[in-house]
């Protein structure tokens, strides 16, 4: 009896994995022209930030904390529900921890339940770059700071309307600037 169950389970798991990971992100590819798997508006065409891009790895190690270096430069992922910003509800701006590039507004932050800060949109399409990532047997898009080429996280097509996108970003890759309240 046990042996008869193993093959159907393996079959259905295999089919699920193939179907689940084989489709590209609907929210990204259906609304824009794709060039090398990325929307044209998010590919890197601005080379004005070469100084940040040309930092040596030793310079990055000196300027970042060990956790930031692992996430931003080695593409590590922090454990869910451990980052400083996953449950931050204050108003302000999220910037790249490596270079200070403005990335996200708290207006687009939402609780996705995934354990990482999630945003439905970027501050500007010129702030990030997307790269197709096929690691871990999945097809997804890596989110990279366009100014310094640091790894931020990934984007998925299961976010809220109108973008249907969920930018799932490591807290270690971000710095938060709290919005200053205007005094009457």
Query: Quick count: other Cβ atoms within 10 Å of Cβ 72?
Result: 27
Per the structure block, which two tokens stand in for 126?
Answer: 């010129």
Asked about 168 being catalytic, the answer comes back as: yes
Per annotation, catalytic residue among 96, 145, 149, 168: 168
Query: Quick count: other Cβ atoms within 10 Å of Cβ 23?
Result: 11
> What whole-number distance in Å separates Cα of residue 136 and Cα of residue 143?
16
* 130 beta partners: 143
The single-letter DSSP state of residue 3 is H
Residues with catalytic function:
168
């Amino acid at each position: 009896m046990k042996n008869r169950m193993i093959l159907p389970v393996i079959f259905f798991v295999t089919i699920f994995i193939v179907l689940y990971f084989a489709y590209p992100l609907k929210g990204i590819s259906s609304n824009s022209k794709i060039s090398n798997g990325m929307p044209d508006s998010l590919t890197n065409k601005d080379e004005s930030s070469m100084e940040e891009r040309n930092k040596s790895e030793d310079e990055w190690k000196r300027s970042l904390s060990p956790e930031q270096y692992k996430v931003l430069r080695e593409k590590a992922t922090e454990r869910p529900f451990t980052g400083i910003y996953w449950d931050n509800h204050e108003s302000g701006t999220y910037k790249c921890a490596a270079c200070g590039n403005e990335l996200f507004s708290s207006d687009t932050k939402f609780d996705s339940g995934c354990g990482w800060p999630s945003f439905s949109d970027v501050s500007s399409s010129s702030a990030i770059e997307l790269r197709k990532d096929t690691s871990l047997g999945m097809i997804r898009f890596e989110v990279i700071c366009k100014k310094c080429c640091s790894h931020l996280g990934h984007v998925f097509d299961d976010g809220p309307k109108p973008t249907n996108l969920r930018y799932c970003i490591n807290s270690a890759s971000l710095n938060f600037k709290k919005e200053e309240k205007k005094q009457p």
